[in-house]
C-alpha cells in the first residue's frame, strides 16, 4: 500500500494503526504478509543449487533453510509487517557509485531505527506483543514477502517494483505475534519489456526453466565491485567500465522509475556520488576508515576500493592516470597490483 494515499484512518483497527505508524515513521510503502511457507523458497533454493549466487556466501550458508518460513525467526509470529523506505535522490547522470551508497550514513541504521519507531508506536497502541525487526541481514526472502504484502511485483531485474513509485526502495520487516488481515500481491506489470535484460553490460539477468528470470551473481557488476575479493577475471574488468561500487543500470533503464519521487532522508542525500579517482588512491587505510566506515562503501574494504579504482582508470582511456597506476602496481595486495598492471597495459593499447 502506498502510504501517501491514506488521507485519514477511518477505523481504529490494528491494521489501520500499523499503516498510520508506518507513515509517521517516514515509510512510503507498507503492507501485511501472512506467516506461512513461501512458494518462492523453491526458486531461491534452485538459484543456490544452480550456483547463481557465486561468492555471495551469506545467501547460501547454513541459514538458507530459515528462509522457507518467517516463523523460523520468531516462533510466535502471526503476521509480517513489510515496509519500503525510498532512497532515490538527485545526482549526476553519470556516476560510478550505486545510488543507495551516495549518502553519509549506513542505511541499515536508518532503516532499523525507523522500524523500531513503528514497533514502539504499535506497542503503545496494541499493548505488549512479541516482535522481531529485520533488515537485509536477516535470513528472509524480503522481496517475496513484500510482494505478498502488496508492495509491488518482482521485476525481470529481480528488484521489487511499485507501479507509481518505482524500485528505489530499502525493504524492512517487523515480525509480530499479532494476526492482521494480509494484503494481496499486485499483478506483474513488466509485460514484454526487456530493457533491463538488454541494458545489462554483462548479461547477468538470465532466463530460467520456468520462464522467469534470475540474477546470475557471478556475472553481476555489483558482485564484482562489492563482494568479490582479490583479482577479478579479465573479462570482468573491461565490463565494469567506470563503476567503483555497485551498478544501477537495470534500475535506471526501468520505465517504472521515470517518475520515481525523491527521498528527504538526510542520511541518503548525495555526499560522494562521483568521487575523484586520483583522490581515492591517495587515501590511507585510516583515511578510508574515517570517510567510509559508516557508509555502504565500507563493504568493499580498502584494497577492494583501490582495485576498483585501478580498473576504472584502465577503462577511462585517460593517460594522465599512468603515474598513479604505476604507484598502485607497487602495492603488496595482489588484487590492486594485478588490476593496476592490467590498467597500464590497457591504456598503452589505447595510446
Active site members? 136
Number of helices (H), then strands (E), belonging to the chain: the values are 13, 8
Beta strand segments in 194-340, E:
205-207, 213-215
Q: Cell 561500487 appears where?
A: 245
Q: Cell 570517510 appears where?
A: 291
Per DSSP, 295 falls in state S
Q: Cell 551473481 appears where?
A: 217
| Rounded Cα distance, 228 and 239, in Å | 15
8 Å CB contact between 169 and 29: yes
| Burial degree of 308 (CB within 10 A; 0-12, 13-18, 19+) | buried
Q: Cell 582495485 appears where?
A: 307
Instruction: Give, for 83, the enclosing helix (H) or strand (E).
Output: strand 79-86
> What's the sign of the alpha-carbon dihedral 248, 251, 255, 256?
negative
> How does DSSP assign 30-59, residue by residue?
EEEEE-S--TTHHHHHHHHHTTTTTT-GGG
| Rounded Cα distance, 78 and 10, in Å | 24
8 Å CB contact between 244 and 314: no
Amino acid at each position: 500500500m502506498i502510504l501517501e494515499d491514506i488521507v485519514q484512518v477511518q477505523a481504529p483497527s490494528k491494521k489501520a494503526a500499523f499503516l498510520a505508524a508506518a507513515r509517521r515513521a517516514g515509510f512510503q510503502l507498507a503492507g501485511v504478509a501472512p506467516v506461512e511457507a513461501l512458494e518462492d523458497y523453491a526458486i531461491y533454493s534452485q538459484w543456490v543449487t544452480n550456483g547463481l549466487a557465486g561468492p555471495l556466501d551469506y545467501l547460501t550458508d547454513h541459514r538458507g533453510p530459515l528462509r522457507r518460513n518467517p516463523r523460523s525467526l520468531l516462533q510466535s509470529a502471526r503476521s509480517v509487517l513489510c515496509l519500503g523506505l525510498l532512497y532515490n535522490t538527485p545526482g549526476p547522470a553519470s556516476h560510478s557509485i550505486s545510488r543507495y551508497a551516495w549518502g553519509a550514513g549506513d542505511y541499515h541504521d536508518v532503516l532499523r531505527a525507523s522500524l523500531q519507531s513503528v514497533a514502539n508506536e504499535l506497542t503503545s497502541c496494541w499493548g505488549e506483543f512479541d516482535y522481531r525487526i529485520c533488515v537485509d541481514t536477516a535470513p528472509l526472502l524480503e522481496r517475496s514477502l513484500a510482494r505478498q504484502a502488496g508492495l509491488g511485483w518482482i521485476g525481470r531485474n529481480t528488484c521489487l517494483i511499485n507501479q507509481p513509485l518505482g524500485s528505489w526502495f530499502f525493504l524492512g520487516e517487523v515480525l509480530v505475534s499479532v494476526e492482521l488481515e494480509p494484503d494481496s500481491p499486485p499483478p506483474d506489470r513488466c509485460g514484454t519489456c526487456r530493457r533491463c535484460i538488454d541494458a545489462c553490460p554483462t548479461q547477468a539477468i538470465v532466463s530460467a526453466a520456468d520462464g522467469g528470470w534470475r540474477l546470475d551473481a557471478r556475472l553481476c557488476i555489483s558482485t564484482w565491485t562489492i563482494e568479490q575479493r582479490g583479482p577479478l577475471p579479465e573479462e570482468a574488468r573491461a565490463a565494469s567500465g567506470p563503476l567503483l561500487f555497485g551498478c544501477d543500470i537495470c534500475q535506471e533503464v526501468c520505465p517504472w522509475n521515470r517518475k520515481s519521487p525523491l527521498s528527504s532522508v538526510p542520511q541518503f542525500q548525495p555526499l560522494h556520488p562521483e568521487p575523484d579517482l586520483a583522490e581515492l588512491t591517495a587515501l590511507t587505510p585510516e583515511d578510508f576508515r574515517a570517510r567510509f566506515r559508516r557508509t555502504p562503501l565500507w563493504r568493499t574494504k580498502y584494497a577492494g576500493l583501490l582495485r576498483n579504482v585501478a580498473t576504472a582508470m584502465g577503462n577511462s582511456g585517460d593517460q594522465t592516470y599512468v603515474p598513479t597506476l604505476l604507484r598502485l602496481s607497487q602495492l603488496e595486495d595482489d588484487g590492486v597490483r594485478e588490476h593496476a598492471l592490467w590498467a597500464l597495459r590497457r591504456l598503452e593499447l589505447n595510446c
